Chain A
Amino acid sequence: MQNPETAGDVLLYEKRKSVFPKAVSGPFRRFKWLVMVVTLTIYYVTPWLRWNRGPYAPDQAVLIDLANRRFFMFGIEIWPHEFYFVAGLLIMAGIGLFLITSAVGRAWCGYSCPQTVWTDLYQHVDRLIDGDRNAQLRLQAAPWGPAKIARRLVKWTIYLGIAFATGGAWIFYFADAPTLQHQFWTGAAPSIAYATVGVLTATTLLFGGFMREQVCIYMCPWPRIQTAMLDEKSLIVTYKDWRGEPRGSVKQAKSSAEPLGDCVDCNQCVAVCPTGIDIREGPQIGCITCALCIDACDTVMKQVGRPRGLIDYATLDGSAHEKAGGPPERIVRTIFRPRTLVYLGVWSAIGLALLFALGVRKHIDISVAKDRNPAFMLMSDGQVRNAYTVKLRNMENRPRTMEISMDGLKGAVMWSDDMPQSSAARSLRRTVAPDQAEAVRIYVIAPSHEEEQDFSFNLLAIDKEGGSDSHKTHFDAPEEKESE
C-alpha cells in the first residue's frame, strides 16, 4: 500500500507546518497583553460578581437562568417575551463587527477573538516550558527521550489546566456560581454541567492547544466575510515593498552595486508571526492583523538605524499615494469616513432604540387566551358564559396586587374558577408572586341580551408604583334565534 498522504509525488493535502512564534516586545505586543488581561478577566470574573436584587431574585450580577427562563444583567432583567433585546444586542454585535472591520480592518481577529486570545495564551505556555522559538524548533526535531517526554507532559498538563478552567468558567454563567462550584467539586452538579465542561475543555484544548491558526485559516468563516468587507480604505498590515525591496542585509547593501531597500531580510517578521505567514508576500487570508510583525520590524529598524514603519498599518489607497512619493496618510482620516460613520450611525441608533425600549418597558403584563371549545355556554337562566385563560405577569422582584377589570361588555360580571360564582363582580384582584407569571381562569357571564362583541381586560397594579396593561379579546354569544 502506498503512503496515503502522497500519491506518487502529489500531496493529497497540505501538511501543517508547525508554527513556533518568537517572543517580541513593542507597543502592539503590550496592547495585546492588555486586551488579553481585560478579556480573560471579564470572562472569569463576571459570574462571581454579586448584585443585590432583594429577597426574591438571584444575587448574581450576570446570570442566564435557563431553567426559570430569565436573563439577569446587573440592573436589567429580561423575560423570554422580551427576547428582542437580546436579538437587538446580537444585531449590534454584528454591525459592530462591520464597523470595526471597515474602520480598523481585522482588529477582531488580531486582538479580541477568543481563538486568538487563547492561542496567544498557549503560545506563551510553549515559550515558558520549551523556551523561545529556536529552543522549540530544536525540541521538535529532537528524538523522543526522557527530557522531551517530561517537557511535553508538563506542557500538555498546563494546556489541559487552561482548557479546564475555560470550560469550567462557562457553566457559572448559567447558575449561581458559588453554589455550582461547591456542587461541581462534590459531584452534586447536574450532569449537563459536567458534560458542558467536558466538551468545552476538549474544544479549547484542541483548538487553542493544537489546531491554532488552522482554525482561522481553514475553519472560520469570518476571515472570508471580512475579506469581502475590506476595501481600499481599510487598515491592513502592509509591508511597504516600495521602501523595502530589493531586500538584503546591511553587509550586502554595502557591497552591492545598486542601492538596496530598507528590508534587511532578517526574517524577524516571519519568526514572530502567530499564524506562520510571511507578510512580505502581501495581504493574505492567514494574516489576522495582530501587528506583532510591526513590533518586530520596528525593533530591527531601530537597531540598523532606519526609520520605523517598513511594516505598518496602511490602507491600499494610502500605500498607492505613498508609493507615488506622497506623505503617509493620517490614520484618523482613514477611520472617520462616510462608510464607518454610516455603520456608527446605524449601530448607535439601534443602541439608543434598545435603551429607550428598556426605559419605557412595562413591568406588568396581561395576555388573554379565550376558550374556543366551546366558544360560549348558554346557562339555564338564559345568560351566556365565556371562559378565558388570563395570564398575569409580575416582572418586579416583589409580590404585587393587581386588579383585573373589563372595559366594555356593560352588563357582564366575572369570577375566577377558584372563587364562587356568587362573588362575581366587574373586577377582581389577584396577588401575583414576585417575578412570576400566573395563569388564572376567568368566567365572564352576561345577560342574554348581550350580543357577541369585542371587549378588553384591563390590568392595574394596586400600589404606589402603579402601571397598567390591557388586552383586547372577544365575547361570543349564540346567534339570534330563528323566529317562529
Chain B
Amino acid sequence: MKNRIKIERAILDLTQDDLAKAIGVSRQTINSIEKNRYVPSTLLALKISKICGKPVNEIFELEEGD
C-alpha cells in the first residue's frame, strides 16, 4: 500500500514528530508508515486523514498485488 503522508506533511509544514504527537503515536511509527514498512490500522489511518483534511483513500492507495 502506497501513501502520501510525507507529501501531506510537507503541505501542512508538519514534522514527523508533530504528526506523531497529534495522533498519539511515536515518531518511529510515522516513519515506518511513510516508508511502507507498516500498514496502519483503520483507526490510525482515519486519524491521519483527519489531520491532513483529506479522505483516507486520497492518502492511502492500494498497489497492484495488495
Do these two chains interact? Answer: no
Hey, which bits of chain A sit against chain B, CB under 8 A?
none
Which residues of chain B have a CB within 8 Å of any CB of chain A?
Answer: none
